Amino acid sequence: MFKLDKDKVYPNETESKVVIRFQDCDPMRHLNNAKYFDYFYNAREDQVPKLYGLEVMDFYKEYHAAWVVYNHQIAYLKPAGIGEWVMIMSRLIWYNENTILIEYYMTDEKKAHLKTLLWSTMRYVDIKTGKSTAHAGKILDFLSISLDKEVDPENLDFNSRIKAVKDSLHLQQ
């Protein structure tokens, strides 16, 4: 179970290096559009326990609630091809009492070119009633330490974020 360590500096972004698999590609030898979601979610699921000491199932068991996706926005900018190594990053960019917004993005291995950007909006739902419920306890601790505070929640716009992420990649070069 997640335990907040006030002396620890937690990262606000996960990062994974993955290879695009043959079975996940379309006849054009590009990653199938639907498979991007699997790559993004698997990468985050692999990294969150390592970075935060958190298994999401622990929250599920303790609070009897889970995040349920209710909206996606995705931009496919450059294809990811068979056998290509890519970088997948994710970060929490906004939350309120019962909703979170996770931003995922994929780049080439050198982080020079943005391939895809995804926003997944998720509602926190009580598993017994199926109704929205408020974030509480250790969940709020986790959300507060993992939030990317560099992103301005007042000016969140999907197309502007695409540009901002592209610009940040070029600054790293």
DSSP calls for 89-151: EEEEEEE-SSEEEEEEEEEETTS-SEEEEEEEEEEEEETTT-SB----THHHHHHHHHB-TTS
Task: Name which of 130, 68, 75, 84 is nearest 103 in CA terms.
Answer: 75
% pLDDT > 90, the chain? 84
pTM of the model: 0.94
Q: What is the DSSP letter of 23?
A: G
Domain 14-172 fold? Thiol Ester Dehydrase; Chain A (3.10.129)
| Exposure class string for 143-158: b at 16+ Cβ within 10 A, else e | bebbbeeebeeeeeee
Domain spans, the chain? 14-172
What would the pLDDT profile of 25-72 be if each residue is shown by its tens digit?
Answer: 999 999 999 999 999 999 999 999 999 988 888 888 999 999 999 999
